[in-house]
């Protein structure tokens, strides 16, 4: 099983480096659930152990700090009284998978946010009788004895008692007792007995994790369905990091005790999970989560209104962006982090934003009103010959996010000067035509229109300094021109280019 013997507050020196920090962008949609998961120690038979678990909501919506974990971790009321909870213990940055620092102990202060003692409220498992997991779903529910300070800004996860297998799954946990991690399974789970590939109905089997893994100390960690409701807790399995590539897991299965049976049965004073989590007997099948306190932070950072591209450097494959810092609450305070992204197509919706490429080098937020600067370059994935659109979101420490903001202009990393050419159709609906060009270095440019005989018809742009990497649009009226071919001459400080166009009236 996946509880971890330990001593006091100590943690082992290393967890697997294929684990994914909750600070990584993949965890962004799960910020609230991340806040509900905690690491804890407990004493049993003279030894100290580590497990994981999650605060969980109830239908009274009264903020009672119920905490769900595995029965093979907490199986008796005596063990519950010895629980010491460690909240928000996690790395502040996303460490690369497979890197040496990924598996090391986080710099976060383990003892900064803690609670002590709990009361066992409900249980459905075999460990208290036979030291075995098989046969029951391995569930335990306690109530944290200490009053948890609102400043911890925790979250009570929602749950589902529907009992169906999840189509995709996420777990959040403390492998080896280390800082909080998150794992993703993109395949349907299956309902089985513990440790079995088929047959039985006490557990949800995760075939393997596509991203992240679990380890000793992850026991009791919650399993979430795609709607972010808890459907089980980790009993055990064979998952871990692979022996070859340190960034990959070993593609082995895990088993999570199903929550649904706990709502129908209980083996601690006959109390079921429904008696505790649905005290008003509403029959609720699915309950959403909620903040620990109604006074919790619901105010997101304000939208960033002046996000702009200020420079494009093709030779260095760099794009410089600037904006004014927004706040933690609206335009006050300091946000927690920026989520800066780019794509080769326009970012016009939240879905577009979530699918865009994230930038790892986003600057830490400054106090509201200060100027922020970010440089995105080849190390972030920029390539010469591509056009790029950017967008940014600010996030506060409660996981609230500002609306995404995108500049109206795009950045173009061009090897050579790019000029659009082709037919120009004039008439009632097209009396004004346009052409676009992009320079690979900043310089003054003059654009002139000539007829087929080489006579200059018009000056369209008279020595204007054009910035490198920005698309420049030149418009001109065509209703006074005869149909036929014309030539556009682009003359810069270090180039001259002529392009043929055709006007059709």
For the stretch 20-67, pLDDT in tens is 999 999 999 999 999 999 999 999 999 999 999 999 999 999 999 999
Strand stretches in 296-441, DSSP E: 308-313, 318-324, 337-343, 357-358, 371-376, 387-395, 411-412, 418-419, 422-425, 432-438
Instruction: Please confirm, yes or no, whether 173 is among the known catalytic residues.
Output: no
Q: Is 219 a catalytic residue?
A: yes
Residue 124: CB atoms within 10 Å: 26
Active-site residue (options: 138, 185, 329, 339): 138
Q: How far apart are CA 72 and CA 67, in angstroms?
A: 15
**160 tagged catalytic:** no
Per-residue confidence (pLDDT) for residue 214, from 0 to 100: 95
Q: Is the pLDDT of residue 424 over 60?
A: no
The 10s digit of each residue's pLDDT in 394-415 is 998 777 899 989 876 777 765 5
pLDDT at 420: 58
Please say whether the beta carbons of 321 and 390 come within 8 A: yes
% pLDDT > 70, the chain: 92
**pLDDT bucket at 224, cuts 50 / 70 / 90:** very high
pLDDT (mean) for 83-102: 92
Work out whether strand 496-504 and strand 422-425 pair parallel, antiparallel, or are unpaired: parallel
The residue among 477, 415, 487 whose CA lies nearest residue 450 is 487
* Its pTM surpasses 0.85: no
**9: pLDDT strictly greater than 50:** no
All structural domains of the chain? 20-291 (2.40.10.10), 308-412 (2.60.40.10), 418-503 (2.60.40.1930)
Least confident of 203-212, 289-298, 315-324: 289-298
User: 305 versus 302: which is more confidently predicted?
Assistant: 302
Which tokens is 476 given?
């001109």
pLDDT reading at 463 higher than 90 = no
At 472-488, the pLDDT tens digits run 778 888 888 888 888 88
Both tokens assigned to 362: 């986003």
* Separation of alpha carbons 223 and 170, rounded Å: 6
Paired strand residues for 461: 447
What pLDDT band is residue 119 in, cutting at 50, 70 and 90? very high
Enumerate residues 6+ apart whose C-beta is below 8 A from 151.
Answer: none
Please state the rounded mean pLDDT for residues 374-383.
Answer: 89
Residue spans of alpha helices (H) in 122-172: 127-130
For residue 308, is pLDDT > 90?
no
Six-digit token string for 80: 């519950």
List the structure tokens of 417: 């000067």
Catalytic choice (17, 219, 235, 402): 219
- Which of 419 and 492 is assigned the larger pLDDT? 492
Of the residues 21, 72, 185, 328, which is catalytic? 72
């Amino acid at each position: 099983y996946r509880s971890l013997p330990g001593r006091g507050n100590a943690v082992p020196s290393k967890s697997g480096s294929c684990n994914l920090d909750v600070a990584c962008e993949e965890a962004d949609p799960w910020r609230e659930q991340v806040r509900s998961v905690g690491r804890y120690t407990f004493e049993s038979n003279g030894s100290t152990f580590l497990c994981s678990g999650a605060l969980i909501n109830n239908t009274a919506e009264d903020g009672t700090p119920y905490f769900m974990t595995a029965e093979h971790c907490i199986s008796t009321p005596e063990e519950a009284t010895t629980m010491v909870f460690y909240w928000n213990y996690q790395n502040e940055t996303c460490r690369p998978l497979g890197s040496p620092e990924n598996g090391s102990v986080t710099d976060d202060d383990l003892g900064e946010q803690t609670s002590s003692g709990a009361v066992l409220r409900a249980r459905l498992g075999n460990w208290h009788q036979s030291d075995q997991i098989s046969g029951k779903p391995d569930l335990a529910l306690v109530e944290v004895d200490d009053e948890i300070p609102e400043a911890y800004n925790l979250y009570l996860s929602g749950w589902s008692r529907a009992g169906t297998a999840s189509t995709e799954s996420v777990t959040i946990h403390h492998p080896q007792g280390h800082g909080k991690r998150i794992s993703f399974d993109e395949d349907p789970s299956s309902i089985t007995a513990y440790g079995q590939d088929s047959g039985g109905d006490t557990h949800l089997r995760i075939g393997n994790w596509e991203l992240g893994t679990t380890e000793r100390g992850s026991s009791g960690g919650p399993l979430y369905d795609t709607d972010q409701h808890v459907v089980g807790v980790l009993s055990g399995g064979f998952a871990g990091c692979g022996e070859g590539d340190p960034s990959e897991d070993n593609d082995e299965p895990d088993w999570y005790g199903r929550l649904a049976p706990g709502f129908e049965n209980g083996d601690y004073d006959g109390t079921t999970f429904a008696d505790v989590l649905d005290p008003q007997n509403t029959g609720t099948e699915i309950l959403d989560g909620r903040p620990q306190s109604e006074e919790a932070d619901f105010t997101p950072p304000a939208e960033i209104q002046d996000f702009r591209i200020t420079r494009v450097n093709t030779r260095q494959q760099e794009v410089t962006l600037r904006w004014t810092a927004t706040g933690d609450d609206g335009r006050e305070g300091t946000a927690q982090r920026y989520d800066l992204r780019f794509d080769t197509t326009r970012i016009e919706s939240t879905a577009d934003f979530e699918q865009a490429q994230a930038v790892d080098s986003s600057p830490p937020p400054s106090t509201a009103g200060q100027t922020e600067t970010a440089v995105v370059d080849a190390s972030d994935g920029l390539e010469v010959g591509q056009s790029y659109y950017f967008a940014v979101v600010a996030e506060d420490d409660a996981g609230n996010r500002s609306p995404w903001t995108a500049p109206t202009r795009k950045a173009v990393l061009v090897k050579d000067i790019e000029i659009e050419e082709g037919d120009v159709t004039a008439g009632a609906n097209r009396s004004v035509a346009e052409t676009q060009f992009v320079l690979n270095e900043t310089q003054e440019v003059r654009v002139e229109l000539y007829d087929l005989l080489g006579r200059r018809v018009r000056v369209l742009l008279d020595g204007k300094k054009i910035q490198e990497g920005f698309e420049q649009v030149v418009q001109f009226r065509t209703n006074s021109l005869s149909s036929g071919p014309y030539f556009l001459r682009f003359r810069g400080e270090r180039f001259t280019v002529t392009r043929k166009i055709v006007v059709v009236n």
